[in-house]
């Protein structure tokens, strides 16, 4: 069964600290992995997209890693800011029956940054 599991479910850290969010998946055949940021009551916004051959990808203070052998990904946030408070969703893509792209969404990690 194609699944994406994220941990922790929620996380609270002090402003300025670093944190790492985890994503494990069983999606097959793997195409790419994405991390989205979703503010409360808003649509998700893409942070990174990683293919099979990419181990690390950065977007400002966000760094995603991918280990396709163990089917794990992480999102590291450096020097957190209050605006980082949001849900972070891991999404894994596979090829569908008709050659189209099919996405499996994780349930997200709810991150709260406190001053």
Partner 1 sequence: DGGITQSPKYLFRKEGQNVTLSCEQNLNHDAMYWYRQDPGQGLRLIYYSQIVNDFQKGDIAEGYSVSREKKESFPLTVTSAQKNPTAFYLCASSIDGGFSYNEQFFGPGTRLTVL
Phi-psi region of 16 (alpha: psi -120 to 50; beta: other; left: phi over 0): left
By the rule CB under 8 A, 105 interacts with partner 1: yes
Q: Rounded CA gap, 27 and 2, in Å?
A: 4
Per-residue binder mask for partner 1 (CB under 8 A), 59-88, x = binder: ------------------------------
- Segment 24-63, which members bind partner 1 (CB under 8 A)? 31-32, 34, 36, 41-46, 49, 51
Dihedral pair phi/psi, residue 58, rounded to 5°: -115, 150
> CA-to-CA distance for 84 and 91, rounded, in angstroms?
19
First to last CA, the chain: 41
Distance in Å, CB of 17 to partner 1, minimum: 26
Among 22, 74, 78, 104, binds partner 1 (CB under 8 A): 104
- Interacting residue ranges for partner 1, rule: CB under 8 A: 4, 31-32, 34, 36, 41-46, 49, 51, 89, 95, 99-101, 103-108
């Amino acid at each position: 069964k194609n699944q994406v599991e994220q941990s922790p479910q929620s996380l609270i850290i002090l402003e300025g600290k670093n944190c790492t969010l985890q994503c494990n998946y069983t999606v097959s055949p793997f195409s790419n992995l994405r991390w989205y940021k979703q503010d409360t009551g808003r649509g998700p916004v893409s942070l990174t997209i990683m293919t099979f051959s990419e181990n690390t990808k950065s977007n400002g203070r966000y760094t995603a890693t991918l280990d396709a052998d163990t089917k794990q990904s992480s999102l590291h946030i450096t020097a957190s800011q209050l605006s980082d408070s949001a849900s972070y969703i891991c999404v894994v893509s596979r090829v569908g029956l008709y050659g189209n792209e099919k996405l499996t969404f994780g349930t997200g990690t709810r991150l709260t940054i406190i001053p």
